[in-house]
Amino acid sequence: MTLQWVKHILILPGTIVVYIPGAILWLVADRPGAIAPAGPGQGRFWIGIALATTGLVLSTGCAKLFVKVGRGTPAPWAPPARLVVRGPYRHVRNPMITSVLLLLGAESLLLGSWHLAAWMAVFFLLKTLYFLRFEEPGLEKRFGDSYRLYKANVPRWIPRLRPWDPGG
């Protein structure tokens, strides 16, 4: 693992999924009902485990595609040199963010924290605004018509049931 990947893991997902939720839980720790962890006998425990597992598998697979196909990382300081339109990217334009939302949802269920669920909603809103204002225009500039075609055929958040075939 290169230093670039360590930086990517510690800064981006670490901040969103570990550091900020940790700070939120620390800030609300004294309040009654702030945290009500789920146990194996509760349905939300198993739903949380399923969300966390799906989020980890999805994020790992997407990161590998960014390295192998895109020749870069999901991090803004080392973006992919090539447009990635394989695997989950054929169904939805932002599967990395989907994976983070799954992980945040898992945390809120497993720890029984409405505060973490609120953080998930705020994160989603901020990312949506970021994508609209910065990321998508930047991708159009970098990848031109190929990104515009991709954007016209693959939804931002709600996955297509059938994968988009860029050649067809």
Domain ranges within the chain, ordered by starting residue: 36-153
**Distance separating alpha carbons of residues 57 and 54, to the nearest angstrom:** 5
- Of the two residues 132 and 14, the one the predictor is more confident about is 132
**Distance separating alpha carbons of residues 97 and 40, to the nearest angstrom:** 27
**Distance separating alpha carbons of residues 25 and 162, to the nearest angstrom:** 39
Identify the DSSP state of 134.
Answer: I
- Cβ–Cβ under 8 Å, residues 116 and 104: yes
Answer whether residue 5 shows pLDDT above 60: no
Average pLDDT (135-154) is 95
Model pTM score: 0.89
pLDDT tens digits along 54-77 = 999 998 898 888 888 888 777 777
How many other CB atoms sit within 10 Å of the CB of residue 120? 21
Query: For residue 48, what pLDDT is reported?
Result: 96
Give the count of alpha carbons within 13 A of 53, CB side only. Answer: 6
Query: Distance between alpha carbon 78 and the CA centroid of its chain, in Å?
Result: 17
pLDDT tens digits along 76-89 = 777 788 999 999 99
- Cβ–Cβ under 8 Å, residues 61 and 144: no
- Where are the strands (E) in 43-84, listed by range? none
Answer whether residue 151 shows pLDDT above 70: yes
- Cβ–Cβ under 8 Å, residues 24 and 116: yes
